[in-house]
């Protein structure tokens, strides 16, 4: 037996979808305007997840030009059929619903095939023999209220690469006025077809519902116990919230589990974003029962698996600047490996691009996901900024909500500055003169408090960072931290030079 603690994926890894091939599980997540798009994780025990690659790495696969941070890539589904992996997702910033394929889930993945007549989001695939079906969500043609959606199916001709025959509506929610019926996944289990879906919206009322039918096209009967999983009945004080958007998986030994998203807010704010949780599933009267006898996602669960791969992956993330760029690194709107940056002798030469974090372009920012509220991130930077140039570390939620700890020049003097931006309010939190061209920048998080140190000097009072999250600033992502350089809308041929990014996360 092995013990698995929730969440199984900490930090901004929402909308999980999972498939199994022999003894390996593969899981994918939404990435919005971050790039590369859609990380692929592999596990042989549902506990230890190893990042093996990304589905959308090439520019031609991932068009995010001008995308706001919470636009871009939504809710992928991963499936395996006859030697080929399929990922289907939505690019809400261009092209809509598309699928890609790969023989090896590490990649390379194919170029996207966009499905022109597929309205809505949250696409999924279901295979039966050699026929492939598209299942998606869409707003009803004549919605009776906001969030009035339906789940629909249509055959997908993989040779012609388009939807064929007629779309059929399968289900529009388990309640009378279900809002946001979405995130559908369809399975055939025994003699029945099961449609799993999310309802209630991805916030406090989020849930998982199920319906079943003897025939693929329905009619689908709603489970009398719907929603089969939610945390809304536990109230706002329960530490895990917003549970929903699940995908089922059967182990080789015939045991069932569900992965789903959830949040761990503190004071109503979930800066880590939507994370991925796991629950056990049994079957009663032909219906799935999630976490039987408990009525919520367990804090930890024991599953039968061999103990030999019990390696717990340390959440420390030292990023060495060597080719190829560490897979944990993310950028905005394009793969950070395509920035005009250079890696040499273990150092990163990050150009002072004109772009800032407010611009919906590709700023010189290379980040990693925040995995815990307790963290210590440090970097040494060589920089001789001039004019408008600035560089340093960022704690980033979105274009209008971030903290930057930077070195810049003003009237011939170098200064270390901390800036916190919350919407239209931008505050210079602390400023101090510094000397020399080598600087140590350190961000330390404890709860929802951030302390900034530059050259071993504490930069003002600790900052309250809880508002830098979706609950206060809108959107769907979680926070990232990383290195940054900008010449703030001016041209500069120069770079800041960073040593390795040292990051430690504790539970
Ligand atoms: C996802 C959808 C949702 O596609 O949020 O609120 C979207 N619902 O299921 C982004 O995660």
Report the nearest atom of ligand 1 relative to the CA of 274. Answer: 11
At 314 the pLDDT is 45
Conformational region of residue 349, where left means phi above 0, alpha means psi within -120 to 50, and beta covers everything else = beta
Residues, the chain: 507
Q: HSE on the CB side for 234, CA within 13 Å?
A: 17
Which residue matches tokens 């299942």?
A: 135
> Could you give the CA distance from residue 448 to residue 334 in angstroms, rounded to a whole number?
29
- Nearest atom (ligand 1) to Cα of 70: 10
Whose alpha carbon is nearest atom 6 of ligand 1? 202
Helix (H, G, I), strand (E, B) or coil at 373: coil
Query: Can you give the residue ranges of every domain in the chain?
Result: 2-309, 331-506
Round the average pLDDT of the chain to a whole number and report it.
Answer: 96
Percent of the chain with pLDDT over 90: 96
* Mean pLDDT along residues 478-482: 98
Residue nearest atom 10 of ligand 1, based on CA coordinates: 74
Across 32-49, average pLDDT? 97
Mean pLDDT on 352-359: 98
CATH topology of domain 331-506: Jelly Rolls (2.60.120)
Edge-to-edge strand order for the sheet containing 162-171?
124-128, 131-139, 149-157, 162-171
What gap in Å lies between CA 226 and CA 67, rounded to an integer? Answer: 36
From atom 7 of ligand 1, which residue's Cα is the shortest distance away? 74
Q: What share of the chain in percent tops pLDDT 70?
A: 98
Which of 11-20, 39-48, 296-305 has the weakest average pLDDT? Answer: 296-305
Counting DSSP H helices and E strands in the chain, the numbers are 1, 40
- Which of 70, 77, 122 for a ligand 1 pocket mutation test, highest count of atoms within 8 Å of Cβ? 122
- Burial annotation 182-195 (CB, 10 A radius, 16+ → b, else e): bbbbbbeeeeebbb
The CA 74 to ligand 1 mean position distance, Å, reads: 7
**Fold matches, 2-309 and 331-506:** no
**Mean predicted confidence (pLDDT) in 466-486:** 97
Averaged over 3-14, what is the pLDDT? 97
* Ligand 1 pocket: which of 17, 37, 68, 74 to mutate (most atoms within 8 A of CB): 74
271 is known as an active-site residue = no
Please tell me the distance from the alpha carbon of residue 107 to that of residue 85, in angstroms, as a whole number: 10
Atom index in ligand 1 nearest the CA of residue 198 equals 9
Exposed, middle or buried by CB within 10 Å (0-12, 13-18, 19+), for 285?
A: exposed
Nearest CA to ligand 1 atom 3: 202
Catalytic residue check, 182: yes
State the distance from the centre of ligand 1 to the C-alpha of 44, rounded, in angstroms.
27
Distance CA 441, CA 455 (A): 6
Closest C-alpha to ligand 1, atom 9: 183
Q: What residues line ligand 1, using a CB cutoff of 6 Å? A: 14-15, 30, 74-75, 121-122, 180, 182-183, 198, 201-202, 245, 476
Q: Quick one: average pLDDT of 477-496?
A: 97
Pocket test for ligand 1, best of 183, 200, 201, 471 (most atoms within 8 A of CB): 183
Look at residue 446 in the predicted model and tell me its pLDDT. Answer: 96
Residue located via tokens 């791969």: 309
Handedness of CA 115, 117, 123, 129 (dihedral sign): negative
Long-range Cβ contact pairs of 49-53 (< 8 A, separation 24 or more):
49/8, 49/9, 49/313, 50/313, 51/327, 51/328, 52/105, 52/106, 53/105, 53/106, 53/107, 53/327
List pLDDT tens digits, range 277-324.
999 999 999 999 999 999 999 999 998 876 554 444 445 679 999 999
Per-residue model confidence as pLDDT tens digits over 177-202: 999 999 999 999 999 999 999 999 99
What atom in ligand 1 is closest to the CA of residue 202?
A: 6
Q: How many CA atoms lie within 13 A of 132 on its CB side?
A: 22
Please say whether the beta carbons of 378 and 481 come within 8 A.
no
User: Strand 241-250's sheet: what is its strand order?
Assistant: 241-250, 256-263, 275-284, 287-290
Residue 281 CA to residue 46 CA, distance in Å, equals 14
Atom index in ligand 1 nearest the CA of residue 137 equals: 9
Phi, psi at 21, each rounded to 5°: -130, 115
The whole-angstrom separation of Cα 284 and Cα 287 is 5
Query: Ligand 1 mean position to 210 CA, how many Å?
Result: 18
Provide mean pLDDT across the span 49-70: 97
pLDDT in tens, 78-106: 999 999 999 999 999 999 999 999 999 99
- Residue among 30, 72, 241 to mutate when testing ligand 1 (max atoms within 8 A of CB): 30
Class of the domain covering 2-309: mainly beta
ipTM tops 0.90: yes
**Cα 246 to Cα 229: distance, rounded to the nearest angstrom:** 9
- By the 8 A CB rule, do 279 and 14 touch? no
pLDDT of 306 reads 63
pLDDT digits (tens, 9 = 90+) for 144-162: 999 999 999 999 999 999 9
* H-helix or E-strand spanning residue 472: helix 470-473
* Tokens representing residue 403 in the block: 């903290």
């Amino acid at each position: 037996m092995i013990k698995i603690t929730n969440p199984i994926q900490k930090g901004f890894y929402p909308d999980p979808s999972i498939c199994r091939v022999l003894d390996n599980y593969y899981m994918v997540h939404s990435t919005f305007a971050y790039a590369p798009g859609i990380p692929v994780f592999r596990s042989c025990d549902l506990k230890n997840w190893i990042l093996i690659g990304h589905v959308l790495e090439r520019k031609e696969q991932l068009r995010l030009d001008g995308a706001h941070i919470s636009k871009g890539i939504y809710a992928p589904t991963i499936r395996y059929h006859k030697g080929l992996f399929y990922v289907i997702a939505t690019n809400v910033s261009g092209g809509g619903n598309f699928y890609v394929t790969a023989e090896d889930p590490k990649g390379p993945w194919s170029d996207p095939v966009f499905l022109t007549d597929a309205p809505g989001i949250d696409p999924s695939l279901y295979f039966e023999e050699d026929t492939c079906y598209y299942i998606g969500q869409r707003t009803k043609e004549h919605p009776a209220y906001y969030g009035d959606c339906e789940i629909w199916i249509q055959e997908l001709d993989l040779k012609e690469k388009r939807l064929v025959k007629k779309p059929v509506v399968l289900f529009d929610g388990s309640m009378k006025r279900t809002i946001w019926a979405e995130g559908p996944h369809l399975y055939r289990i025994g003699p029945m077809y099961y449609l799993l879906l999310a309802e209630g919206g991805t916030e406090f009322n989020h849930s998982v519902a199920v319906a079943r039918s003897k025939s693929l096209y329905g009619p689908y009967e709603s489970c009398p116990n719907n929603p089969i999983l939610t945390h809304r009945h536990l109230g706002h004080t329960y530490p895990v919230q917003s549970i929903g958007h699940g995908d089922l998986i059967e182990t080789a030994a015939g045991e069932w589990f569900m992965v789903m998203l959830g949040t761990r807010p503190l004071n109503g704010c979930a800066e880590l974003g939507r994370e991925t949780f796991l629950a056990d599933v049994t079957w009663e009267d032909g219906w799935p029962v999630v976490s039987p006898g408990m009525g919520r996602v367990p804090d930890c669960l024991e599953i039968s698996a061999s103990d030999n791969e019990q390696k717990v992956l340390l959440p420390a993330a030292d990023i060495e600047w060597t080719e190829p760029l560490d897979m944990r690194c993310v950028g905005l709107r394009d793969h950070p490996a395509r920035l005009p940056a250079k890696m040499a002798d273990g150092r990163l030469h990050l150009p002072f691009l004109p772009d800032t974090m407010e611009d919906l372009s590709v700023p010189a920012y290379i980040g990693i996901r925040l995995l815990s509220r307790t963290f210590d991130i440090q970097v040494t930077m060589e920089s001789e900024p001039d004019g408008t140039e600035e560089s340093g570390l960022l704690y980033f939620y979105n274009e209008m909500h971030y903290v930057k700890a930077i070195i810049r020049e003003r009237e011939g003097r170098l200064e270390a500055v901390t800036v916190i931006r919350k919407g239209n309010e931008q505050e210079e939190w602390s400023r101090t003169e510094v000397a020399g061209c080598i600087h140590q920048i350190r961000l330390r998080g404890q709860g929802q408090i951030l302390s900034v140190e530059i050259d071993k000097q504490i930069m003002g009072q600790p900052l309250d960072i809880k508002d830098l999250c979706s609950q206060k600033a809108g959107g769907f992502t979680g926070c990232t931290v990383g290195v940054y350089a900008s010449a703030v809308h001016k041209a500069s041929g120069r770079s800041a030079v960073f040593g390795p990014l040292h990051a430690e996360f504790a539970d």
